[in-house]
């Protein structure tokens, strides 16, 4: 090899090395968690804590809010988004009920793949302080005494909160006027101000603080059993209305067409996040408990919720629109 060829060969090696190093330094696309709810609420706050706790494993994780239509807008966004497994849906059990009343939007078991459950939170029956009731039987008696019925806040007709409230009302024999709001911050303000007298939904740290001050009152919880850690002393609705029980969950989903290997990577990061004691301490005042699950366990939970909502809709005679 002469001197000129030697220089060319050396230059080519340097260029290849530089290009290779440049490609090696290109960061992976961020993980995007889509929250189908308004910013500022409990669901949004949970998702942002989850994103922070997953970053040590995943790198850049961002949260985007796409609220509206009882969660349908954000859910459709993920359904129609990239299939690389880097766009995730932060879902709760209402994700199962929406397609049962609005078919054609998405199919939970065909369009999505579970990553894992992140947390659980009871749904609470809360009332304005002016409601003269401290127990569920007292509340039912009061609601029955109102000729026009009692006003209840929710985040949209056919949302989980709306269905839960209507289901309880049917078994209690009371009339409820359903008043929809844009998000949980608005429903909380409506309850605090007395625009409505009740709501049946997950609570927030702010509402729990208002309950301690006597501005709102927690009457009962919708779970299948009492929770002495998250809600000491609070009875279940089923202690008075035996059929009315449903457990709330939150978790991550991805498009069904996403790579299977991404599920394992994301679930590993989820497991790390649910073990974060600092996050648990921040969420406990909102009556939320971190709880890890495998994708298979979340799939089983989704199927159980699906069967429960079919019962609810049948009893309420709500048929697909």
Q: State the Cα–Cα distance between residues 148 and 141, nearest whole angstrom.
A: 14
Q: State the Cα–Cα distance between residues 107 and 72, nearest whole angstrom.
A: 12
Which residue, 191, 195, 42, is CA-closest to 126? 191
Domain co-membership, 233 together with 150: yes
Domain co-membership, 52 together with 91: yes
pLDDT bin (cut points 50, 70, 90) of residue 13 is very low
Domain co-membership, 195 together with 256: no
pLDDT bin (cut points 50, 70, 90) of residue 113 is very high
- Check residues 166 and 286 and name the one with the higher pLDDT: 166
Q: What is the pLDDT of residue 206?
A: 86
Element of type H or E holding 100 = helix 94-101
**Strand ranges in the chain using DSSP code E only, listed in sequence order:** 31-35, 61-65, 87-92, 112-120, 123-128, 150-154, 176-180, 198-202, 216-221, 249-255, 289-290
For residue 19, pLDDT over 70 is answered with no
Domain co-membership, 221 together with 81: no
- Check residues 194 and 203 and name the one with the higher pLDDT: 194
- In the three-class reduction of DSSP (H, G, I as helix; E, B as strand; rest coil), residue 75 is classed as helix
Q: What is the pLDDT of residue 274?
A: 96
The answer for residues whose C-beta is within 8 angstroms of residue 37's C-beta and 6 or more apart is 43, 44, 65, 67, 71, 74, 155, 183, 184
pLDDT tens digits, one per residue of 277-307: 999 999 999 899 999 999 999 999 999 999 9
Q: For the chain, how many structural domains are there in total?
A: 2
Last residue of some domain: 205, 239, 273? 239
- Token output for 262: 């991404």
Domain co-membership, 184 together with 157: yes
Helix axes 295-316, 160-172, angle to 10 degrees: 50
Q: What is the pLDDT of residue 259?
A: 94
pLDDT tens digits, one per residue of 216-231: 999 999 999 999 988 9
Domain co-membership, 158 together with 214: yes
Domain co-membership, 78 together with 98: yes
Range of the domain at 175: 123-239
Q: State the Cα–Cα distance between residues 124 and 236, nearest whole angstrom.
A: 9
Q: What is the pLDDT of residue 15?
A: 45
Q: Parallel, antiparallel, or unpaired: how do β-strands 150-154 and 112-120 relate?
A: unpaired
Last residue of some domain: 184, 204, 239? 239
Last residue of some domain: 239, 264, 291? 239
Q: State the Cα–Cα distance between residues 236 and 222, nearest whole angstrom.
A: 6
Domain co-membership, 268 together with 304: yes
pLDDT bin (cut points 50, 70, 90) of residue 46 is very high
- Token output for 97: 């009920």
Asked whether residue 292 is assigned to any structural domain, the reply reads yes
pLDDT tens digits, one per residue of 49-64: 999 999 999 999 999 9
> DSSP character for 28?
P
- In the three-class reduction of DSSP (H, G, I as helix; E, B as strand; rest coil), residue 146 is classed as coil
Domain co-membership, 129 together with 231: yes
Residue 276, number of CB atoms within 10 A of its CB = 18
Average pLDDT, the chain: 90
For residue 268, pLDDT over 80 is answered with yes
Asked whether residue 6 is assigned to any structural domain, the reply reads no
Q: State the Cα–Cα distance between residues 160 and 70, nearest whole angstrom.
A: 8
Asked whether residue 22 is assigned to any structural domain, the reply reads no
Which residue, 138, 126, 231, 232, is CA-closest to 189? 126
For residue 22, pLDDT over 70 is answered with no
Q: What is the pLDDT of residue 105?
A: 86
- Check residues 69 and 9 and name the one with the higher pLDDT: 69
Q: What is the pLDDT of residue 20?
A: 45
Domain co-membership, 77 together with 103: yes
Q: Parallel, antiparallel, or unpaired: how do β-strands 123-128 and 176-180 relate?
A: unpaired
Domain co-membership, 52 together with 116: yes
């Amino acid at each position: 090899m002469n001197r000129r060829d030697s220089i060319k060969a050396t230059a080519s090696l340097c260029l290849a090395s530089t290009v290779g190093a440049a490609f090696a330094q290109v960061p992976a696309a961020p993980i995007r968690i889509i929250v189908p709810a308004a910013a500022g609420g409990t669901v949004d706050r949970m998702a942002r804590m989850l994103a922070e706790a997953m970053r040590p494993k995943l790198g850049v994780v961002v949260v985007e809010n796409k609220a509206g239509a009882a969660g349908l807008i954000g859910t459709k966004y993920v359904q129609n988004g990239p299939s690389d497994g880097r766009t995730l849906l932060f879902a709760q059990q209402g994700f199962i009920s929406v397609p049962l009343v609005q078919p054609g939007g998405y199919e939970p078991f065909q369009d999505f793949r579970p990553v894992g459950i992140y947390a659980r939170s009871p749904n609470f029956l809360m009332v304005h302080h002016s409601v003269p009731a401290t127990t569920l039987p007292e509340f039912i008696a009061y609601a029955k005494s109102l000729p026009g019925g009692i006003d209840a806040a929710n985040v949209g007709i056919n949302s989980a909160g709306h269905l839960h409230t209507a289901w309880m009302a049917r078994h209690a024999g009371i009339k409820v006027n359903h008043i929809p709001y844009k998000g949980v911050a608005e429903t909380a303000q409506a309850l605090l101000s007395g625009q409505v007298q009740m709501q049946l939904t997950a609570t927030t740290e702010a509402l729990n603080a208002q309950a301690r001050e006597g501005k709102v009152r927690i009457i009962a919880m919708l779970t299948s059993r009492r929770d002495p850690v998250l809600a000491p002393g609070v009875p279940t609705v089923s202690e008075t209305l035996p059929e009315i029980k449903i457990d709330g969950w939150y978790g991550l989903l991805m498009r069904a067409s996403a790579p299977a290997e991404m599920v394992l990577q994301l679930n590993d990061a989820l497991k790390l996040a649910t073990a974060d004691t600092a996050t648990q301490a921040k969420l406990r005042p909102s009556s939320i408990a971190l709880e890890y699950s495998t994708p298979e366990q979340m799939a089983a939970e989704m199927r159980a919720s699906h069967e429960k909502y079919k019962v609810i809709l049948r009893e309420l005679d709500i048929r697909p629109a």
